[in-house]
Amino acid sequence: MEKLATRDGYGKALLELGKQNQNVVALDADLSDSTRSEYFAKQFPDRFFSMGIAEQDLIGAAAGLAFSGKIAYASTFAIFSERAYEFIRNIVSRNKLNVKIAGSHAGIFTGEDGKSAQAIEDIAIYRALPNMIVLQPCDSVEAEKMVFALADYKGPSYMRMHRNPVPVIHKADYKFEIGKGEVLKQGKDAVIFATGTLVHEALKAAEILEKEGIKVYVVNIHTIKPLDNNLVIELAKKTNCVVTAEDHNVIGGLGSAVAEVLSENFPCRMKRIGLQDKYAESGKPDELYKKYGLDAESIAEEVIRFVKKR
């Protein structure tokens, strides 16, 4: 199976979008080679703005371009985008400006760069902002579809991307819709709501669980805000056994979002898999996932314990 990073899908789609829509502009904070916005920059240098290592300038300039009617895509590392939080809050979010923030190298999947570069709180930060939608593709094709969907969406957004390649599970004709979860696998004993790289781990965990006689739904939650509340409630009612999986702190991320919905609509048994309110360390992504319980085997073990308790 082909493997590509979601940042590659972002760069490819941004280039194609630029060819189709002259109103699209792109900005970066001295990381265009890493975020892949360089694809756009090489083709459309007059519509690309390199702001240097100055994230507040990145957001301020993007906001100004959006205010003048442009569709502004602003990219940097997820962790560095947080430097401009106050600008994002008071200029972009508060005024509902059409700025598309793209944060690459998110989560401990970033690997050897270590805890200073591993954003594990970005979903929580952006999810708390009114008017802001939060998305995370699970493969490069979904990242491409997301870029195009955001061009049609009027308002601020945060798109979370990853450094390392993951299997491409979607076909070119995949229909992406903001706010609608995607059921990748049917089940009956439990449901795993996963996002980003953990979608792949959840699918592998489902295969392990089947050998143990446990069948689980696997749902790709590519839109964390607005969450697909109806799907969450529907599958919770069917299983009464909900698991969330994410490469993010369990506080404030997908697990928190799902728990909020269920606590008010259908309180049920729930387990959150993610970083247990701790920073990780430097290491290879697969080794880090195993150590911190984010790999398929660890997820399967948690689900087995959870289901048996029922």
- How far apart (Å, rounded) are the C-alpha atoms in residues 240 and 77? 37
What pLDDT score was predicted for residue 308?
Answer: 86
Side-chain-facing half-sphere of 303: CA atoms under 13 Å = 38
Report how far apart, in Å, the C-alpha atoms of 62 and of each of 76, 118, 146 are: 13, 24, 19
| Domains of the chain listed by start with CATH number | 3-167 (3.40.50.970), 182-309 (3.40.50.920)
Question: Are 244 and 181 a contacting pair, CB within 8 Å?
Answer: no
- Each residue's pLDDT tens digit, 123-177: 999 999 999 999 999 999 999 999 999 999 999 999 999 999 999 999 999 999 9
Reply yes or no on whether 55 is catalytic.
yes
pLDDT band at 309 (very low <50, low <70, confident <90, very high): confident
Among candidate residues 38, 55, 142, 144, the one labeled active-site is: 55
Q: Is the pLDDT of residue 59 over 90?
A: yes
Q: What value does the mean pLDDT take over residues 31-42?
A: 97
Question: Are 84 and 101 a contacting pair, CB within 8 Å?
Answer: no
Supply angle C-alpha 87, 89, 91, rounded to 5.
Answer: 55
What pLDDT score was predicted for residue 301?
Answer: 97
What residues contact residue 255 under an 8 Å CB cut-off, 6+ apart?
244, 246, 272, 273, 274
pTM for this entry: 0.96
pLDDT band at 10 (very low <50, low <70, confident <90, very high): very high
Which of helix, strand or coil describes residue 121? coil
